[in-house]
């Protein structure tokens, strides 16, 4: 589950943006006096304190001027344009940052899956049983007669005594392939058996015949 903090635009900032947008559109021309806090608070359904914060922000950006005696005056359309644009840029950065965090989270989860799979593969390579020896990896020659033939068709165990526990193909490992699995060029076969079994398997892969010891 992603633990991202969802952020919403503060009410006072939304109001400041709305007023700035009205200035940009010409609805509130430069030099016009804005309505009082109480009227604006009723219009936007917020407290007078929220309106005060909105106006303070616009004043800091030189969009409006707050006069103690004459109220709030629209000061600059150009500053209003800059304010709206800067907010949109910040909002775009926030969205991209959120998307990046989600991608990083997905990559972290994928890295964990890869790490876990790698550990399982290593564990299988280190697999031990009293009647088995260490698994041996055998490369299949490009021109081997077993290419495109299945394990069952070749009767691997009958002809060599080797038990196939896995196939390494490119970057993946197929564990316990069934009798219908067909070999491809570049495959590496993981087998278990004693030295004679390994020698017979190698001979079978290369030459096509390997008689089991009586």
DSSP sequence for 88-128: HHHHHHHHHHHHHHHHHHHHHHHHHHHHHHHHHHHHHHT--
Taking only the tens place, the pLDDT of each residue in 86-144 is: 877 666 666 666 777 787 788 888 878 877 776 676 666 555 544 445 788 899 988 89
Kindly tell me if the per-residue pLDDT of 41 is higher than 50. yes
Taking only the tens place, the pLDDT of each residue in 154-208 is: 999 999 998 898 898 887 888 888 889 999 988 999 988 888 988 999 999 987 6
Residue 14's pLDDT is: 87
pTM above 0.85?
Answer: no
Whole-Å CA distances, 25 to 20, 22, 34, 71, 113: 9, 5, 15, 22, 53
Kindly tell me if the per-residue pLDDT of 51 is higher than 60. yes
Query: 201: which 2 tokens?
Result: 């398997």
| Domains of the chain, first to last | 1-126 (1.10.10.10), 136-207 (3.30.70.1450)
Q: Specify whether the CB–CB gap between 32 and 74 falls below 8 A.
A: yes
Residue 134 in 3-state DSSP? Answer: coil
Residue 203's pLDDT is: 92
Residue 6's pLDDT is: 39
Residue 62's pLDDT is: 92
Nearest-angstrom CA–CA distance, 178 and 156: 12
Token look-up 């526990």 returns 165
- Exposure letters 21-55 (e unless 16+ CB within 10 A, then b): bebbeeebeeeeebeebeebbeebebeeebbebbb
């Amino acid at each position: 589950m992603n633990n991202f903090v969802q952020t919403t635009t503060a009410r006072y900032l939304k109001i400041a943006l709305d007023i700035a947008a009205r200035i940009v559109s010409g609805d509130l021309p430069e030099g016009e006096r804005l309505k009082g806090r109480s009227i604006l608070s009723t219009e936007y359904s917020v407290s007078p304190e929220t309106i005060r914060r909105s106006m303070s922000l616009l004043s800091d950006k030189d969009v409006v001027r707050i006069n103690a005696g004459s109220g709030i005056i629209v000061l600059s359309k150009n500053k209003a344009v800059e304010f709206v644009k800067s907010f949109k840029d910040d909002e775009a950065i926030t969205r991209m940052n959120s998307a990046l965090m989600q991608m990083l989270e997905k990559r972290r989860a994928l890295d964990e899956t890869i790490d876990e799979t790698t550990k399982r593969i290593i564990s299988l390579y280190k697999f031990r049983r009293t009647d088995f020896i260490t698994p041996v990896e055998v490369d299949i020659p490009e021109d081997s007669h077993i290419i495109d033939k299945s394990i069952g068709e070749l009767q691997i165990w009958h002809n060599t005594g080797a038990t196939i526990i896995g196939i390494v193909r490119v970057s993946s490992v197929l564990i316990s392939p069934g009798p219908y699995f067909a070999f491809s060029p570049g495959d590496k076969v993981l087998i278990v058996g004693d030295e004679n079994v390994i020698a017979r398997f190698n001979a079978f892969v290369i030459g096509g015949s390997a008689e089991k010891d009586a």
